[in-house]
Every structure is written in structure tokens, then in C-alpha cells.
Chains A and B, each alone.
Chain A
């Protein structure tokens, strides 16, 4: 019945738009496709220029697109949204002593604090290197760090503080709630935001042309997991076990939608609260469902014990998760035996040996005495992108935005990045499997056409 309704409504959508009394505009009459975006900044050499338009947001495979069997009345994100406001020709501020970049860090005692610290290290290393390499005529960069507090909306206040301190752009943050509210404020303050760590798939969906994200988000991770679990491994009885938070709710959404579109909706979506250490009720419910796969979204402090308790209760399902599963704490808290075989979507192989990465690892280790992780890597790359744009644009927020918004590709220490119509990095990611005491990274399986339940 529902399908019939959808088909009927789809047919309605196909009625020529002229019925409503207007002549549909010719595409050429609208100058939105390619606005006067400046040329790409001088970034690391890109492999090949992209085609120029952005057919699928989030690199979504055809079979995972929503309403794919219906021609929608209107489709968004085929082009990049321009910023049409003034400002590019405003004179540079007088008397600048530094070029200020804001850094919005997560609360120091919250669940994102460790990731925030690594991200900050990546930012600071990039800034230190940029300042070390600057010419005498160039102004040094200065990082204005503001630390978020665990109250709703704090990040919005901080975004305003960045404007008050004349920051040219800012970097942050990890928590999806904070990033969203900060992003809202950028529409008013008109300060560009570089995100290197927030996996929230909805972050870039709200049509704000003041953001770029180089961190592969939960949409891409979710698609990878969906295809891996359903198509490659043939598991169809799936349970999602996630944090009861907004990031958890929106984080699993692309995965849940994807497996449904592949014909196997999840059996259950069970929640836990941050801080929980025992999961008796959830374990009982999941055990009753007898799943073949349990997909975790959350931090290791919760997912580790949860995995152990599921196994102890006799749940034999394979364990899957998003990038946060690839964490020593998960192995420690779940136990190596329980973690054996666990598989997670992950941005890239941390053990890759290309010179860009290995040189970065060496520099990072020299500076901080520890190895970088993906958060440090993407923060370093994001800062480099921003530094390059600022150097080229000068201290003008609008020109900086235009340069950043024109980036289609970038190759940094984390590897090749390609940005879609919403400025999301859609470069292929990998999956990691924990086997015999260590994580093994494997490129995403070559995607093949599939027959879905809907087809």
C-alpha cells in the first residue's frame, strides 16, 4: 500500500511544472551552477580534476539513494551553493599583528576530550610549521583556542567570540551538537569553519556555504558497513546498539536507511547512555532477537563492556562499528577474545607507508613524543588547507571562504580527498578488522551492482 502511494505521489511529481501556472525556467537562465568561485588554492597536487558537478551527495551508491525509484520533483545539491553576499572587496583590517585562527575544542573532561587533544596537536603542528616557514613580510598565524562546555549552545557563543576576536576562520569541533550550533552562528558572523573530526552526517546538509569537512563522516561509513555486512558477508539479521544521544541517533541513520534499502531493515535499534557500564536489559533484548550482526555506535567506554556482556550472554553475532571502535580501549574493555573479528569502517590505514604520512608521523612524534591518529592527521590537513587559503586570500573572511569553497580535491598527509557538492570528503575509506591482536586495514570492497529487495 505504501509503495502504491509512493508511486502515485511520484507520478504526481512528474506532472509538468507548468500546471501550477508558471513557465518553468530554463536552466540556463539561472546563474547558480558555477558562480564566480575563485580558482583553487595552491594545495598539494591533485590527481585529476573532477568532472565539475556533484551528482551524489555523500558518494551515495545508486541503490542506496532514498526514493530511488521515483523521480523527485526537485533535487538539491547538484551544484555547490554559492555565497552571494558582499565582502570580497572589503579592505583588509589595519594594524593586524597576527592572522588569527579559532580552534573550538571539546570540553576537557568530556568523552571527546582525548580526540580533542589529538586534534589540537595536529592544528598546532601545522601552525608551528607554517609560522616557521613564513617569509619576513608575512604575518604569523595565531591560534585562539576556545573550549566548549557541556551545555547546549555553548559552541554558538564561542563562534560569536571568534567573531569578536577577529578570527579569520575557525577549526572545530568533534561533537555533532557543538558543530551544528557553531555552524548556525557562522551564517551570521560569516566566518569560515573547517571541520576535521565531526562524523555527524547531517552537519553539511543544511545549506550553509561556510563549512568544509575533510573527515569521512558517518554517511560514508554507514554505506560501507551496510554493503560489507549485507552484501559481502551476507548477514541480514542486524541490530544497532548505539549511544542515546543526538550524535548517536543521526550517526546510525544512514546505515539504518541503507540496510533497509538493501532489503534488510534492522531488527532493533537499542540505546545506551553515556556512562553506562552494565547493559543487562539491552543484552537481554538483543539476545532475544538472535542477530547475526551487532553494529555499535558509541565510545569504547560503553561499547567495550557492552560487547563483552553480549558475548557473555551468548550472543554470537559478529560485531561491527564505526571508526570509534578502532580504539585500544575497546579491545581492553571488551577483551581480545570478544573483539576478535570485530570490523569497523575507518578513514584510512594508519599503517600506510606513503611518504606524506610517514613524514608527518615522524614530525609529529618528534614534536609530541607520540604517534598521531586520524584526528591529528585530519586536523593537520584541515589547518594546512586553511593556512594556504589565508596566505593566498589575505585577511579577508570572504575571500578565504571563496578559496576554501572552491576546493574540489586535496592531497594531504591523510591521503587523497575529494569534496562533494556539500564540501564533504568522499574519498574512498577502508575497513578495519581486529584479528589476532591487531587491526588489519582493508580497502573498501569494490562495489558491485546488487539486486535489492526493492528492485
Chain B
């Protein structure tokens, strides 16, 4: 296959933005040859963007496709916006409160992008950056791990509590260990659901906030012990929640001890060695339809809970796709392309494509056109 040259164009001007043109290194595309259909698309090839391709840093923390189709990328040194195939950087010099961008969420009604950094919250609105710090606003803490928008409220997961900003009144409400069932105030992520908000708390499992009744319900690891998963499928796998995601009635929890799924009545849990989960150390989980994309320190998995496909590199550095179907042996395929790095920190995916933020670059996955790889499973 052809190799396309990358060309890095440094933009001049006071904005100190850089732009990137061209496409990254793409090797031979693959053709999926699978006898059995999968309940989600299969990745055909990866296009990767590294430092040499214009990423400002090795570490890419998060990625998000906005409703106007622009791609937003949070890196160790600023945010990137991909417009017309070029990356534009938004950094501290543009008003961002800190260089390390950990998370982002779009207010789809206004197009504003809320950007969580390791020192403050930012609202990027049509080029204007407004910052919120714990010293100048009601923000609980400057270290922001996760963001979510539900109706007129912005939910901010911080190192010292959950902050909720009413976008109409500007009022902040803080939930932490002093006014909720939260045992610890170290909040990691939030996921909006129908009339509810799920909050992933480091050390307190998952809290569910009922927006109508304005009460919290907690989901905790039933054995309450970090040594063991005593019984599987009995509840959240662990109280140390690294991320939560929700879509179509399915809640997914990732931890550094494995992962869990809750459909409103039944919990399921997965651990490495006991399931196709490639690693217990999970940084991020992304829900799309009834499928979860799982970002671990050993690659990325996609699953509907029964069928799994894991993309990672083997010991020789070759890309692998490991397909696990219930009751079937693992089918391993080598790929000509692979993730930019197996340490996956963030994911965005829909029916057409997936993007991966990793510890060494940004990855773009093109799905196979094979009719055997169906669209994402959706609720009946």
C-alpha cells in the first residue's frame, strides 16, 4: 500500500496555533474474512498520529467527535481541533487554564466545548475560553477527571467532589462525602442517562442521581474487599471506579480490577484470566448502543458482553485482532496496522469509525466494509 507523507505546517501569527496537513502512515488495509457476523463493526485498519505527525505530545488523554463533525483531542499539552483534515491547537497561550487536558464534553445545544484540565475547567465557546478555578468559582477542585452535561447542568468530576454547574443560573452545587453517601470525594467520571446521572467515584463504587427525586443511590462492590472478587456477577466489580459510561439502558463500569455491566436488573463482571478481558487495568470505557469500547493498558476491546474483539500488539510488535465468541476458541488475526499504543486512555466511537487516545498518539480506526460486520447492536 502506499505511504503518504506527512507534512507539518506551523501556522504563524499571534494565536500560536499549529496546523497539520496530510494523512498519517497507513499500511496495507485488511479485509475481514469472518464466517460469523459480529454484533459490532470490525476494525479494518488504523491511521495513527504521533508526535512526528504533529501531535504536541506523546500522551493523548481524550478524543471526542463534536456534533458539527469536528474532532476534539485532549493532550498533555493542550487541546486540538481537527477541521478540514488539519489540527488546530488550543493551549495555555489561548487562555486554557492548564496544558493537560483530561476530558471534554460538548454542549450540543450551543456548540460550546467544556474542557477539563488538571488545573481548572474551561468553556470554549466560538473561540473564547472562559476558565473556572476552585479559587474563582464554585468548582470543587481544579483537577478535573470527567465531565457530563445533562439538560441545563454541567457535571464535573473532580479530585475533591462532584460539582454541578447550573448553566442557566450559574449556581454551583457540590456533592461529596459530607452530604452524600459517597465514602470518598474522589470523583472520576459522570455519565448522563434518562433522568439519571451515574457518577463513578474512586473508592465509592457508583452513585446514581435521580434528577426527579434528587436523591443518590449507591452501587458498591458487594464483598467490599480489594483482595478479591468473591463472587462474580454480583455487583460492581470494585469500589475504585475509573470510568462509567451509559447508553441505551446499559451502564458500564471500568476499574483497575476489571469491569462491570448493569442493565438495570443484573450485574455482570469481567476480569482478566477469567474472561476475554485483556487486562484488569482499564482507563476508560465508551458506550455506544449496547456495545462498550474498553481502553486498557494492553489494548482496546469492544464487546456487547458476550462477543469480544481485542486489538493489541503482540510481543513482536505486530497488530492483533483477537476475536472471542461465546463457546468458541479465540480467533487471532494479525493486522498490518495497529493502535498507536496499547495504553489506551480515551475512546470515541460510533457506527462508522472509532478514535483512540493513547499514551503515545492518536489512533483512527476504519471499520471493515464487510457485510458480516454488522452495525452496533441496538436495543430492540
A and B touch in the complex (CB under 8 A): yes
Q: Using a CB–CB distance below 8 Å, which chain A residues touch chain B?
A: 9-10, 12-13, 17, 20-25, 27, 30-32, 57, 65-67, 70, 72-77, 81-87, 90, 151-153, 156-157, 160, 163, 180-181, 184-185, 188-190, 202, 205-208, 246
Give B53-69 as 1s and 0s: 1 = Cβ < 8 Å from A's Cβ atoms: 00000110100000000
Our pick among B145, B232, B315, B326 for the contact of A74 (Cβ within 8 Å) is B232
> In the complex, are the beta carbons of A86 and B360 less than 8 A apart?
yes
Cβ-closest chain B residue relative to A57: B227
Does B208 count as interface, using CB distance less than 8 angstroms? no
> In the complex, are the beta carbons of B142 and A157 less than 8 A apart?
yes
For window 136-153 of chain B, which residues contact chain A by CB distance below 8 Å? Answer: 140-143, 145
Report the Cα distance A118→B61, complex, angstroms. Answer: 38
Report the Cα distance A85→B326, complex, angstroms. Answer: 30
For window 355-375 of chain B, which residues contact chain A by CB distance below 8 Å? Answer: 359-360
> In the complex, are the beta carbons of B229 and A207 less than 8 A apart?
no
Output the least CB separation between B181 and chain A (Å).
14
Report the Cα distance A27→B100, complex, angstroms. Answer: 38
Question: For residue A76, which residues in chain B have a CB less than 8 angstroms away from its CB?
Answer: 226-229, 257, 280
Interface of A is mostly: loop
Our pick among A22, A73, A152, A207 for the contact of B185 (Cβ within 8 Å) is A152
> In the complex, are the beta carbons of A9 and B158 less than 8 A apart?
no
Report the Cα distance A77→B275, complex, angstroms. Answer: 18
User: Assuming A188-B118, A207-B256, is B202 touching A13 (CB within 8 A)?
Assistant: no
> In the complex, are the beta carbons of A66 and B231 less than 8 A apart?
no
Output the least CB separation between A63 and chain B (Å).
15
Output the least CB separation between A170 and chain B (Å).
15
Question: For residue A246, which residues in chain B have a CB less than 8 angstroms away from its CB?
Answer: 177, 184
> In the complex, are the beta carbons of B61 and A188 less than 8 A apart?
yes
> In the complex, are the beta carbons of B256 and A180 less than 8 A apart?
no
Our pick among B98, B226, B275, B297 for the contact of A22 (Cβ within 8 Å) is B275
Interface stretch (choices B14-22, B25-33, B192-200, B266-274): B266-274
> In the complex, are the beta carbons of A73 and B231 less than 8 A apart?
yes
Output the least CB separation between B51 and chain A (Å).
10
Our pick among A81, A153, A206 for the contact of B240 (Cβ within 8 Å) is A206
Output the least CB separation between B62 and chain A (Å).
11
Instruction: Name 9 A/B residue pairs within 8 A (Cβ), A-sorted.
Output: A9-B234, A74-B258, A74-B271, A76-B229, A82-B297, A84-B297, A85-B343, A87-B359, A160-B143
> In the complex, are the beta carbons of A72 and B228 less than 8 A apart?
yes
Question: For residue B140, which residues in chain A have a CB less than 8 angstroms away from its CB?
Answer: 152-153
Does B203 count as interface, using CB distance less than 8 angstroms? yes
Report the Cα distance A72→B224, complex, angstroms. Answer: 13
A-B contact count (CB 8 A): 174
Report the Cα distance A166→B231, complex, angstroms. Answer: 44
> In the complex, are the beta carbons of B100 and A163 less than 8 A apart?
yes
> In the complex, are the beta carbons of B228 and A84 less than 8 A apart?
no
> In the complex, are the beta carbons of A160 and B119 less than 8 A apart?
yes
Question: For residue B337, which residues in chain A have a CB less than 8 angstroms away from its CB?
Answer: none
Cβ-closest chain A residue relative to B255: A207
> In the complex, are the beta carbons of B203 and A72 less than 8 A apart?
no
Interface of B is mostly: loop
Give B129-167 as 1s and 0s: 1 = Cβ < 8 Å from A's Cβ atoms: 000001000001111010000000000001111000000
Question: For residue A25, which residues in chain B have a CB less than 8 angstroms away from its CB?
Answer: 272-274
For window 296-338 of chain B, which residues contact chain A by CB distance below 8 Å? Answer: 297-298, 306, 315, 324, 326-327, 329-330
Does B104 count as interface, using CB distance less than 8 angstroms? no
Does B223 count as interface, using CB distance less than 8 angstroms? yes
Q: Using a CB–CB distance below 8 Å, which chain B residues touch chain A?
A: 58-59, 61, 98, 100, 102, 118-119, 134, 140-143, 145, 158-161, 176-177, 184-186, 202-203, 223, 225-234, 240, 256-258, 271-276, 279-281, 297-298, 306, 315, 324, 326-327, 329-330, 341-343, 359-360
Question: For residue B343, which residues in chain A have a CB less than 8 angstroms away from its CB?
Answer: 84-86
> In the complex, are the beta carbons of B143 and A156 less than 8 A apart?
yes
> In the complex, are the beta carbons of A32 and B185 less than 8 A apart?
no
Report, nearest first, the 5 A-B pairs whose CB atoms are least far apart: A153-B160, A207-B256, A21-B326, A156-B159, A153-B141
Cβ-closest chain A residue relative to B186: A184
> In the complex, are the beta carbons of A207 and B281 less than 8 A apart?
yes
Report the Cα distance A20→B274, complex, angstroms. Answer: 10
Report the Cα distance A32→B279, complex, angstroms. Answer: 9
Report the Cα distance A208→B159, complex, angstroms. Answer: 16
Output the least CB separation between A137 and chain B (Å).
29
Our pick among A21, A31, A152, A160 for the contact of B160 (Cβ within 8 Å) is A152
> In the complex, are the beta carbons of B341 and A86 less than 8 A apart?
yes
User: Assuming A73-B230, A157-B141, A202-B203, is B160 touching A22 (CB within 8 A)?
Assistant: no
Output the least CB separation between B372 and chain A (Å).
21
> In the complex, are the beta carbons of A152 and B141 less than 8 A apart?
yes
Report the Cα distance A336→B225, complex, angstroms. Answer: 40
Question: For residue A20, which residues in chain B have a CB less than 8 angstroms away from its CB?
Answer: 232-233, 275
Our pick among A22, A75, A206 for the contact of B203 (Cβ within 8 Å) is A206
> In the complex, are the beta carbons of B227 and A75 less than 8 A apart?
yes
Output the least CB separation between B77 and chain A (Å).
11
Question: For residue A9, which residues in chain B have a CB less than 8 angstroms away from its CB?
Answer: 230-231, 234
Cβ-closest chain B residue relative to A24: B274
Question: For residue A207, which residues in chain B have a CB less than 8 angstroms away from its CB?
Answer: 240, 256-257, 280-281
> In the complex, are the beta carbons of A67 and B230 less than 8 A apart?
yes
Report the Cα distance A9→B235, complex, angstroms. Answer: 13
> In the complex, are the beta carbons of A74 and B143 less than 8 A apart?
no
Report the Cα distance A163→B297, complex, angstroms. Answer: 22
User: Assuming A9-B230, A24-B274, A206-B256, is B342 touching A84 (CB within 8 A)?
Assistant: yes
User: Assuming A86-B360, A153-B160, A202-B203, is B227 touching A13 (CB within 8 A)?
Assistant: no
| With A20-B233, A81-B281 already in contact, 5 other A-B pairs whose C-beta atoms are closer than 8 Å | A75-B228, A76-B229, A81-B256, A184-B145, A207-B281
Cβ-closest chain A residue relative to B117: A160
Report the Cα distance A27→B273, complex, angstroms. Answer: 7
Output the least CB separation between B345 and chain A (Å).
9
Cβ-closest chain B residue relative to A17: B274
Output the least CB separation between A76 and chain B (Å).
6
Report the Cα distance A362→B176, complex, angstroms. Answer: 47
> In the complex, are the beta carbons of A181 and B257 less than 8 A apart?
no
Report the Cα distance A163→B281, complex, angstroms. Answer: 23
Report the Cα distance A181→B186, complex, angstroms. Answer: 7
Our pick among B61, B141, B230, B342 for the contact of A72 (Cβ within 8 Å) is B230
> In the complex, are the beta carbons of B159 and A65 less than 8 A apart?
no
Cβ-closest chain B residue relative to A23: B329
Report the Cα distance A22→B307, complex, angstroms. Answer: 10
Question: For residue A205, which residues in chain B have a CB less than 8 angstroms away from its CB?
Answer: 226, 240
> In the complex, are the beta carbons of B256 and A73 less than 8 A apart?
no
Question: For residue B118, which residues in chain A have a CB less than 8 angstroms away from its CB?
Answer: 160, 163, 185, 188-189
> In the complex, are the beta carbons of B159 and A184 less than 8 A apart?
yes
> In the complex, are the beta carbons of A181 and B160 less than 8 A apart?
yes
> In the complex, are the beta carbons of B273 and A24 less than 8 A apart?
yes
Question: For residue B186, which residues in chain A have a CB less than 8 angstroms away from its CB?
Answer: 180-181, 184
> In the complex, are the beta carbons of B203 and A156 less than 8 A apart?
no
Question: For residue A190, which residues in chain B have a CB less than 8 angstroms away from its CB?
Answer: 59
Output the least CB separation between B373 and chain A (Å).
21
Cβ-closest chain B residue relative to A249: B183
> In the complex, are the beta carbons of B359 and A22 less than 8 A apart?
no
Question: For residue A87, which residues in chain B have a CB less than 8 angstroms away from its CB?
Answer: 58, 359
Output the least CB separation between B288 and chain A (Å).
22
> In the complex, are the beta carbons of B143 and A13 less than 8 A apart?
no
> In the complex, are the beta carbons of B100 and A189 less than 8 A apart?
yes
Question: For residue A73, which residues in chain B have a CB less than 8 angstroms away from its CB?
Answer: 228-232, 274
Cβ-closest chain A residue relative to B283: A187
Report the Cα distance A159→B204, complex, angstroms. Answer: 22
> In the complex, are the beta carbons of A184 and B228 less than 8 A apart?
no
